[in-house]
Each structure stands twice: as C-alpha cells, then as structure tokens.
Structure 1
Amino acid sequence: MLAPELTHGVLRGKGLLDPRTGLPGRELLIDRLGLALTRVKTHGTLVSLVLVPGDAETAVLLRETMREDHTVARYEPDLVAIVAEHPNGDARPIVERVRTVTTARTGWYTSDGTARVHEVLFRAEASLI
C-alpha cells in the first residue's frame, strides 16, 4: 500500500497519476481499491467499482461530478474507474451521477470486502459487456 503522505508531485513523478488529467492511474486505482476493500470489510460497509468508457475530458468531468471521497481514475486510456464506499445498497446512485456527464454504458461491481481487488476489477469489466 502506498504511503498516504505522498504528494501530488511525487505521485506524478512516479507515474501513478495520468499525465493528461492529473487523476490517479491504474496502479494507484488498484492500491486505493485494495484499501477500500480492507476498510469496508472492517467497518461492515460496501464498496463499488464503477467503470465508464470515456476519454480524458470525460474523466475530468466525472472527477468534478463525483463526491470528494470517491476515487476517480484513468483505468485505461478509454476507461474511467470510480471507487465509492457506501453504507448499503449498490452502485445505482453513483451511476445516476455518471449519467449527468455521459450516456455511455457503465459496468459495476459492489463488494462487502470479501472479494479481492482483481476479482472486483474482473467482475466490473465483465458487467460492461
């Protein structure tokens, strides 16, 4: 897990931030998803990973639209990921916010913390198909 005190500049220098948007890249997304899975398992809450096809502009608009405590990242050059912790339910409220920015299809997976990072990524990707 990455040290929380790493600065934005250090993260960019290490290649953890997307150079076009300044948002977390794939590696930082995986780290944050892992931390979220640990937290929700400990606290008895849920985490959803929402995937949205989109370019750099869509990613920036989604960052502006989502809550501050949600991680918005460039998972792939044409795929934006959102990690959101919540007390119950599923990703529908997050998807509703996404719809204010884009009509692109979305995929998501919600976990209680028992799934591993790569399982969450796989299931969210599979739901896009």
Structure 2
Amino acid sequence: MADNVKYQLRILNLSCYRQDESDGDEVFLKIKKEKIWPVDAKYVKMKEGDHKVAHNIEGINKDETVSIELWEYDFWTPNDKLGTFSMLVNERGGSFRTDLKAEKGEAAKYSLEWEVY
C-alpha cells in the first residue's frame, strides 16, 4: 500500500565553516530556481558560525530527495552557485545535518541543519 502521507521539512540553521570570500559571503537559498531564504532581504552576510533559518518546505512525498542550492550574491557580476544540499526525506525526526556538495572550484564549506514533521 502506497504511503500518501506528506512530510514537512523545516530548515533550522545554516552553518559556515569556511566562507568563499575573505570578508564573508552574501548567501541565499534556492529550490527549483526560486529563492526561498532570506525572505526579507537579498542575502545574509555570513562568516564562520551559525545562522538561524527557520524555513518550512511542505508537501514532500516519502522517499523524496529535496535539493537546496546555496548561492552567493554578487553586486557587479552574476551570482555564484556555491553548491547543493541534498536531503532524503523518508522519516519524521531530526535534527539532521547535511554538508554542502560544493560546485567545482568553490572552496566554501557549509552545512544545513533540518528536521522532518
């Protein structure tokens, strides 16, 4: 019997272990080409440390993989995709932590903390 239950993924925190730019990164998150965070600004300035995100993604099917892209805002040139977080949603619980799979040539190191309802 198919599991028709929908899950909700809640992004708790974004952690920076090594920023891409020496003075900090101007980061934002996207899913399927749509910016999801921050909702009230173009970006969040991050250096090493944690930043609370508190963003919900609803309507996820069991065993669905959710991919979230981390982007770095650039003022004068096109924005840079730093990498992707991939999360398999197959059970309720958490918190879980997923490391950034960096784009080729990018030195940034980030992780995302999340849970499932």
Q: Structure 2-normalised TM-score?
A: 0.33
Structure in which a larger fraction of residues adopt strand: 2
- Comparing both chains, which one has the higher relative contact order based on Cα–Cα distances under 8 Å and sequence gaps of 6 or more? 2
1 or 2, which has the higher helix percentage? 1
TM-score by length of 1: 0.31
